[in-house]
Amino acid sequence: MNRLIEYMLPPAKSTLAGETDALFAFINISSFIFIIGITLTMLYFAWRYRRKSDDDVTPVISHNNILEITWSVIPLILVIIVFSWGYSTYMKKISPPSDAYEVRVVGKSWLWEFHYDNGNVSVNELHVPENRPVKLIMSSDDVIHSFYVPDFRVKMDVLPNRYTSVWFEATEQGESTVYCTEYCGTAHSNMLATVHVHSQEDFEDWLETSGGSGEDLPPVERGEMLVQQNACMTCHSTDGSRLTGPTFQGAWGSDVPLENGETVQFDENYVRESILEPNAKVHQGFQPVMPSYAGTLDDRQIDAIIEYIKTLQ
């Protein structure tokens, strides 16, 4: 049974995962006992009392109050145990320690942005230190998303009109997947991110080097890195295939047809505008769904992206 439950759950990598799993196991085991017990009783009755002739006479057993009370009270006690247990762990899950390290999280269709206390921003990669409580303060730029890390057993909806928060304390170094679990449209299932759990020193190193901003790289390479980091490729292919947004391949210098019948040239200004104010001029046949990167990307970074797109002929 223990093996089965271990198999059913993802690895437990946060301080509160164990408590959640214990309740999961408790409910599974007690349910299993009930289900098997009742099913066997049912099958036994069906066989033992099978119809022998059409004139079978059955006893008049219309009710039994003691039985009724028994099978109301025993489950009642059990569910109250489950309820209290679930509630107490839940309270721990929503009460972050006051010294928790805070990260701002912004959900956009369809990417995750993580803002750190020193101004660093990472997209679709969350870097956290090991053995230290981390509190995420989350909001959405558009529709509702939900932040879910199975390995930590935490989940919280990310709303457009208010802040929500979630906290965890990772117990081992490594990587875990972040999923969006509130349906948010076309690329909902691609709205994934990775949590990188570092040791305290490595984390500080990472913060220092800002996760490799690539400022020292040549613009084209920096642009390619930024396009990957900012999850542009979730929607824009570089090989000509059609995703949620138009492809980058061969785009440079072309005439972009707009919904209103006009065309606009794909040049520096168009790229810049489309990054900062994506829905101003939307390519014909595509939905106006791209989030704005104003505040995420600065002018030098946009320049680098432009240089990179130029190479995709």
Partner 1 sequence: MATSEASTTYKKIQVRRYKPEENPEKNYLNEEKGLWAWLTTVDHKKIGLMYLASIAFFFLVGGILALILRTELWTPARSFLDADLYNQVFTLHGAIMVFFFLVPSVPTVLGNFVLPLQLGAKDVAFPRLNLASFYIYLIGALFTLTAILTGGVDTGWTFYTPYSATTGGNVIMMTLGVFILGFSSILTGVNFIVTIHKLRSPGMTWAKLPLNLWALYATSIIQILATPVLAITLLLLTMERALGIGIFDPALGGDPVLYQHFFWFYSHPAVYIMIVPGFGIISEVVSTFSKKIIFGYWAIALSSLAIAFIGFLVWGHHMFTAGQSSLANLVFSFLTFMVGIPTGIKIFNWVATMYKGSIDMKTPMVYVMIFLFLFMIGGFTGIMVGALSVDIHLHDTYYVVAHFHYVMVGGMVMAFLGGIHYWWPKMFGKMYSELWAKIAAGILFIGFNMTFLPQFIMGSQGMPRRYFNYLEQFQPFHQTSTVGAYLMGTGFLIVAIYLTYSLFKGKKAGPNPWGSRALEWQTASPPPLHNFEHIPVIINGPYDYHKPMSEFQLGVASKHNGHHAEETVDVPESAQEKA
Query: Is residue 219 a contact residue for partner 1 (CB under 8 A)?
Result: no
Q: Which of 123, 184, 227, 282 binds partner 1 (CB under 8 A)?
A: 184
User: Could you tell me which stretch among 122-130, 177-185, 219-227, 305-313 binds partner 1 (CB under 8 A)?
Assistant: 177-185
User: Does 222 help bind partner 1 (rule: CB under 8 A)?
Assistant: no
Cis, peptide link before residue 112, omega less than 30° from 0: no
> Between 17-48 and 65-94, two packed helices, what is the crossing angle to 10 degrees?
160
Task: Point out which span in 98-106, 179-187, 260-268, 301-309 binds partner 1 (CB under 8 A).
Answer: 179-187
Is the Cβ of residue 82 or residue 217 nearer to partner 1 in the bound state? 82
Of 41, 209, 254, 263, the residue at the interface with partner 1 (CB under 8 A) is 41
Cα Rg of the chain (Å, integer): 28
Q: State the amino acid at position 7 in one-letter form.
A: Y
Least separation in angstroms between residue 59's CB and partner 1 is 5
Q: Are strands 145-149 and 174-180 parallel, antiparallel or unpaired?
A: antiparallel
- For residue 192, the minimal CB distance to partner 1 (Å) is 8
- For residues 114 and 104, the answer to whether their CB atoms sit within 8 Å is yes
Candidates 97, 117, 131, 160; binder of partner 1 (CB under 8 A) is 160
Query: Does 40 engage in binding with partner 1 (CB under 8 A)?
Result: no
Q: Which stretch binds partner 1 (CB under 8 A): 62-70, 197-205, 268-276, 295-303?
A: 62-70
Contacts (CB under 8 A) with partner 1, residues 256-295: 287
User: Of 45 and 253, which has the nearer Cβ to partner 1?
Assistant: 45
Rounded distance between C-alpha atoms, residue 217 and residue 210, angstroms: 14
Residue closer to partner 1 (CB basis): 8 or 300: 8
Cα gap 154→164, rounded to integer Å: 13
Residue choice 1, 46, 66, 285 for contact with partner 1 (CB under 8 A): 46
| C-alpha–C-alpha distance, residues 243 and 286, integer Å | 10
Contact at 8 Å (CB) between 184 and 110?
yes
Per-residue tokens: 69: 């009370």
The sign of the dihedral angle between the CA atoms of 11, 16, 19, 21 is negative
Q: Does 150 bind partner 1 (CB under 8 A)?
A: yes
Give me the least distance between CB of 140 and partner 1, in Å please.
9
Give yes or no for residue 49 binding partner 1 (CB under 8 A): yes
Smaller CB distance to partner 1: residue 8 or 280?
Answer: 8
Window 76-105: contact mask with partner 1 (x via CB under 8 A) = x--xx-xx-xxxxxxx-xx-----------
Q: Is 23 in the site for partner 1 (CB under 8 A)?
A: yes
Measured between alpha carbons, how far is 246 from 253 in angstroms, rounded to an integer?
A: 14
Write phi, then psi, for 271 (nearest 5 degrees): -65, -45
DSSP state of 215: T
Hey, what amino acid is at 156? M
**For residues 286 and 245, is the Cβ–Cβ distance under 8 A?**
yes
Three-state SS at 106: strand
Residue 50 binds partner 1, judged by CB under 8 A: yes
Identified binder of partner 1 from the candidate list 100, 115, 132, 164, rule CB under 8 A: 164
Residue 159: Cβ within 10 Å count: 17
Closest separation in Å from C-beta 161 to partner 1: 4
> Using the rule CB under 8 A, is 66 a contact of partner 1?
no
